[in-house]
Amino acid sequence: MPQTKIAGIGYYVPENIVTNNDLLKHMETSDEWIQERTGIKERRYAHRTEETTTTMGVEAAKIAIERAGITNDDVDFIIFATISPDYYFPGCGVLLQRAMNMKEIGALDIRNQCSGFIYALSVADQFIKTGMYKNILLVASEKHSFGLDFSTRGRNISVIFGDGAGAVVLQPTEEKNRGILSTHLHSDGANAEMLAMFNPGTHANHWMPEAVADFDEAEIGEMFMSHAMIDKAQNFPTMDGPAVFKKAIVKFPEVIMEALSKNDLTAKDIGTLIPHQANLRIAQFVQQKLQLRDDQVFNNIDKFGNTTAASIPIALCEAWEQGKINNGDLVCLAAFGSGFTWGSALLRW
């Protein structure tokens, strides 16, 4: 059975840099608070009308395809991971297919939030190993800036997120001990509402009776996204930050250790750990817990913030471009986020 290798990688971030001080225009916060609690100095925001989740994904995909030495016509399957899609439906996979003039191939959308890239990588790995596809284009992209509460009410979330996209081309390789060694996926829906965006959604009476208690029958057609929901800020993400933080610092090391022990390896063997860029404090905690040296962990949250599904491929690409990942290196990817869903992947570069 072949293994799955990353044949090409690329990323794209919008030109528009938004510093912590820029956010002071909208909300009560401070550069000091944001840097101290998250490690973020600045993030990128997409152009409001000219850039979308899909167009950023296309830019990252073009680079990954060129670096893989293939053409758009060679791509035989698309996987697109995002929680900030251009449309509620259809997904971004088909929009990217159209924008890149690709032939009539399958396109799958994955909405596993922060762990979206790891989930997508695992799905792609199964397709490649079974011989079903030879060139899978996996794109992860987010345009968070379009749907955040920029008032003081939403500051615990809005200061964290940034926009950007990453992409990889995955191919089979017959080389032993090369490419993806294993992937590990987990979820636990018990705390699904701890980090969530409820609308537009069909949950109304079921999960959140209080949200619709004061609606009358005349509004029934508006349940999907009503004026009242917008007035109550239910069209923005909400998060119990400290609770998510506490869970993340347990699950990150656990799922990394799971990947290492599955492959008879230890933390000392890791060449580069790319943790999902949720909060620098979480990454630092994981580094400490696994006793990793600074040069074993790559973070770029200070420049780009948390780009959810896109954060791992953006960081992976940056680390590789900076010469921090070389042939034969052991690379560990790990993510934790909304759902909760979490996962890891171990790769021999």
Q: What amino acid positions are annotated as catalytic residues?
A: 114, 276, 306
- Kindly state the tokens that stand for 337: 């986020």
- Kindly state the tokens that stand for 325: 């990942």
- Kindly state the tokens that stand for 318: 């940056």
Q: Which residue minimizes CB distance to ligand UT7?
A: 241
The least distance separating ligand UT7 from the CB of residue 20, rounded to whole angstroms, comes to 9
Kindly indicate which of the ranges 51-59, 91-99, 116-124, 242-250 contains the residues binding ligand UT7, using the contact rule CB under 6 A. Answer: 242-250
Phi, psi of 88 (to 5 degrees): -60, -45
297 binds ligand UT7 per the rule CB under 6 A: no
The number of residues making up the chain comes to 349
What is the distance, to the nearest Å, from the Cα of residue 3 to the centroid of all Cα atoms in its chain? 24
Site string for ligand UT7, 112-141 (x = CB under 6 A): --x---------------------------
245 binds ligand UT7 per the rule CB under 6 A: yes
248 in Cβ contact with 272 (< 8 Å): no
Site string for ligand UT7, 248-267 (x = CB under 6 A): x-------------------
Helices and strands of the chain, counted as H and E runs: 13, 13
* Most distant CA atoms of the chain, gap in Å: 64
Distance (Å, whole) CA 60 – CA 78: 13
290 binds ligand UT7 per the rule CB under 6 A: no
Distance (Å, whole) CA 223 – CA 209: 12
Residues 14-73 that bind ligand UT7 (CB under 6 A): 29, 33-34, 37-38
224 binds ligand UT7 per the rule CB under 6 A: no
Distance (Å, whole) CA 279 – CA 199: 25
Site string for ligand UT7, 184-213 (x = CB under 6 A): -----------x------------------
Phi, psi of 225 (to 5 degrees): -165, 95
Q: Which of 17, 21, 22 is nearest to 46 (CA)?
A: 17
Distance (Å, whole) CA 193 – CA 215: 22
Kindly indicate which of the ranges 7-15, 130-138, 215-223, 276-284 contains the residues binding ligand UT7, using the contact rule CB under 6 A. Answer: 276-284
111 binds ligand UT7 per the rule CB under 6 A: no
Q: DSSP per residue over 17-31, as a string? A: EEEHHHHTTTSS--H
306 binds ligand UT7 per the rule CB under 6 A: yes
159 binds ligand UT7 per the rule CB under 6 A: yes
Query: Is the Cβ of residue 13 or residue 310 nearer to ligand UT7 in the bound state?
Result: 310
The least distance separating ligand UT7 from the CB of residue 46, rounded to whole angstroms, comes to 18
Query: Is the Cβ of residue 245 or residue 349 nearer to ligand UT7 in the bound state?
Result: 245
Binding site for ligand UT7 (CB under 6 A): 29, 33-34, 37-38, 114, 155-156, 159, 195, 241-242, 244-245, 248, 278-279, 282, 306, 337
